[in-house]
Amino acid sequence: MNIQEAKKEICNTLRAYLAKDENGYYIYPLVRQRPILLIGPPGIGKTAIMEQAASECGVGLVSYTITHHTRQSAIGLPEIVKRNYGGKGMMVTDYTMSEIVASVYDCMEKTGKKEGILFIDEINCVSETLAPAMLALLQNKTFGSHKIPEGWVLVAAGNPPEYNKSVREFDIVTLDRVRKLVIEPDCEVWLRYAGGQNVHQAILSYLSMKKERFYSVENTVDGKFFVTARGWEDLSRLIQSYEKLGIEINAELVGEFLQKEETARDFAGFYQLYTKYGEDYQIPAILNGELSSEKLKQKQQMAAGGTFEERFAVVNLIQGTLRETAERYENVTHQIEVLHELLLHLRNHVKKISQDEKERDQLPSGISALEEFAQEQDNSLQVKIKMELLSLREQKFQETAIRRLREYILAAKKEHLRSAENGFKRICKYFEEEAARRENLVQKMHRELQSAFSFIKESFGDSQEMLLLVTGITADNTMTTFIAENGCPAYFQYSEMLLYNKEEKNLQKACAEAIQAI
């Protein structure tokens, strides 16, 4: 099972376990709700899919790496309490609430989400003193004397023994009470995920060619050598930061993330070539039509005569540039949608003010009413942030929308507008200018897509490079979203051609097999 299949199974489990009848009772018997146990190599993305699953299902998430905890923090501290047994008061030992269980209640209080995932990582690597508590957790969903709240699904994760010497084997009694999912590295799945996470195009290009270098963990007499999905993603972030700062990327730096010398050296060499190809081909200038016909012809001839690695890199450079523009389009579009929603609320606010003024026979309220509205929206946003109801990305969009609204209000005041109604009308004009800038971005994306297909066609014809470009665009959600909303004749033309060729080849293969059978 790959990591995305595991995420899908977790989402399906959440929907099944949390389904309720018409009276609000859970349909799936609580006693039969087995915890999920993920077993897979380190750095494969187990924690990341917990966040994705919780977000997609709209539930809370509390995540702990259990090896960071002591027995006291996990199950609570002992305390002496008075109990009544057979009419007699007795002093007995009890335990305070587990820090982990308390965190679940804290999450419910902060977010308002009464259902969620409790994720316990490295559960099979705990100390000897914690091992019994972990077995009780998997078997009974309890920490010490406190149960996990109803509506919270337990998901645990651990590494196979070959990756960690401290791994403890679970007995059959425990394994018979969990749903064990074994996860294996899958480069194709990770590449689809990485494309949506803005992973550096050089890494995507390299791993598309050399999938065998995606994941490797070796524990030999000479030492530990490993390359993980986490390593590639963290390396991507560093490269992107270093490029902006103009800092050199060398094999030693790459080796800090890809701790297998052969892979680190090979990728570092590819990265240097990739960067050189980017400088030589001037892809942004090609896609924006900034080169003369003579220079464009030279670039096409250079690409046509390149090695396999160079041709592959050129296509990925083009995809990377297209993705950057598509992401800008996606961000600008969403920002406009958030701002538009805010202005709709402002319109209703202005109408209410006007109606109240008419009823009370008052003069129109000043533009300060718009400033008060912006402050109210900001206050509401701060509450949502404190309650962790928004993702960081959505928080930034909301903050930008409120800041933009304040800029609009200030501009209206500079034009000596006094009433809230006139101020709102002027704000709508500013918003129209914002929408016009988005349309310019749409035209830019259309131009780049058309230039990309034209360059590949003139350089390579209808060969594998064209297939690579179409496949890359199809796999990228930001680009397919743009095409679905705005169209792209060249994309549909070549997609249909490649689909026809594929069907023709499959038909020829089927005919050949039929002839052999005769």
Q: Are residues 217 and 241 in the same domain?
A: yes
pLDDT of 501 = 52
As given in the structure block, the two tokens for residue 136 are 């009780």
pLDDT of 362 = 47
Residue 382 included in any domain: yes
Distance from the Cα of residue 487 to its chain's centroid: 26
Residue 456 pLDDT exceeds 60: yes
CA distance linking residue 175 with residue 380, whole number of Å: 47
Mean pLDDT score of the chain: 83
CA distance linking residue 41 with residue 162, whole number of Å: 9
> Which residue range is the domain that position 197 belongs to?
186-281
Is residue 455 within 8 Å of 297, Cβ to Cβ? no
**Mean pLDDT lowest for which of 110-119, 121-130, 296-305, 308-317?**
121-130
Residue 102 included in any domain: yes
**End of a domain among 184, 202, 220?**
184
Residue 307 included in any domain: no
Residue 466 included in any domain: no
Residue 125 pLDDT exceeds 90: no
Residue 346 included in any domain: yes
Confidence of residue 257 (pLDDT cuts 50, 70, 90): very high
As given in the structure block, the two tokens for residue 11 are 């989402």
Q: Are residues 156 and 61 in the same domain?
A: yes
Helix (H) or strand (E) run with residue 209 in it: helix 201-209
CB atoms within 10 A of CB 142: 15
Comparison of pLDDT for 353 and 249, the residue scoring more:
249
> 């587990």: which residue's tokens?
98
pLDDT of 504 = 45
SS (H, E, C) 159-201: CCHHHCCCCCCCCHHHHCCCEEEECCCCHHHHHHHHHHCCCCH
**End of a domain among 384, 408, 441?**
441
Is residue 490 within 8 Å of 449, Cβ to Cβ? yes
Q: Are residues 211 and 160 in the same domain?
A: no
As given in the structure block, the two tokens for residue 203 are 């890494």
DSSP 422: H
- What CATH number should be reported for the domain holding residue 34? 3.40.50.300
Q: Are residues 31 and 102 in the same domain?
A: yes
- The 10s digit of each residue's pLDDT in 314-364 is 998 999 899 889 989 999 999 999 999 999 999 888 888 766 655 454 444
Mapping DSSP to helix (H, G, I), strand (E, B) and coil, where does residue 8 land? Answer: helix
As given in the structure block, the two tokens for residue 341 are 């929603």
Residue 442 pLDDT exceeds 60: yes
Find the mean pLDDT for residues 63-78.
Answer: 66
Which residue in 83, 80, 73, 77 sits closest to 96, CA to CA? 77
Q: Compute the CA torsion angle 68, 72, 73, 74 (nearest 10 deg).
A: 80
Q: Are residues 125 and 194 in the same domain?
A: no
Q: Are residues 256 and 356 in the same domain?
A: no
Confidence of residue 106 (pLDDT cuts 50, 70, 90): confident
CB atoms within 10 A of CB 412: 22
Residues facing 181 on adjacent strands:
38
Residue 150 pLDDT exceeds 60: yes
pLDDT of 3 = 84
Residue 55 included in any domain: yes
Which residue in 253, 259, 265 sits closest to 223, CA to CA? 259
Comparison of pLDDT for 332 and 503, the residue scoring more:
332
Q: Which backbone phi and psi does 52 adopt, to 5 degrees? A: -65, -45
Polymer length in residues for the chain: 518
- The 10s digit of each residue's pLDDT in 134-145 is 777 777 787 767
Q: Are residues 173 and 210 in the same domain?
A: no
pLDDT of 463 = 80
Comparison of pLDDT for 165 and 346, the residue scoring more:
346
CA–CA distances in Å: residue 516 to residues 3, 103, 425, 502, 508 = 40, 66, 76, 21, 12
Residues facing 116 on adjacent strands:
60, 152
pTM over 0.85: no
CA distance linking residue 337 with residue 397, whole number of Å: 10
pLDDT of 361 = 46
Q: Are residues 255 and 232 in the same domain?
A: yes
**End of a domain among 184, 215, 233?**
184
CA distance linking residue 45 with residue 514, whole number of Å: 44
Which residue in 168, 178, 90 sits closest to 129, CA to CA? 168
Q: Are residues 180 and 138 in the same domain?
A: yes
Residue 487 included in any domain: no
CA distance linking residue 399 with residue 40, whole number of Å: 39
pLDDT of 450 = 93
Residue 511 pLDDT exceeds 50: no
* Amino acid at residue number 182: V
Residue 310 included in any domain: no
Confidence of residue 393 (pLDDT cuts 50, 70, 90): confident
**Mean pLDDT lowest for which of 238-242, 375-379, 440-444, 496-500?**
496-500
CA distance linking residue 475 with residue 472, whole number of Å: 5
- The 10s digit of each residue's pLDDT in 259-317 is 999 999 999 999 999 999 988 999 999 999 898 999 999 999 999 988 888 888 899 89
Q: Are residues 212 and 332 in the same domain?
A: no
Q: Where does 10-87 show beta strands of DSSP type E?
A: 36-39, 60-65, 78-85
Q: Are residues 49 and 157 in the same domain?
A: yes
CA distance linking residue 375 with residue 371, whole number of Å: 6
490-493's contacts with Cβ under 8 Å and 24+ in sequence apart are 490/449, 490/450, 490/453, 490/454, 491/449, 491/453, 493/453
Q: Are residues 7 and 59 in the same domain?
A: yes
Angle (CA) 77 78 81, round 5°: 130
Domain count for the chain: 3
Residues facing 217 on adjacent strands:
226
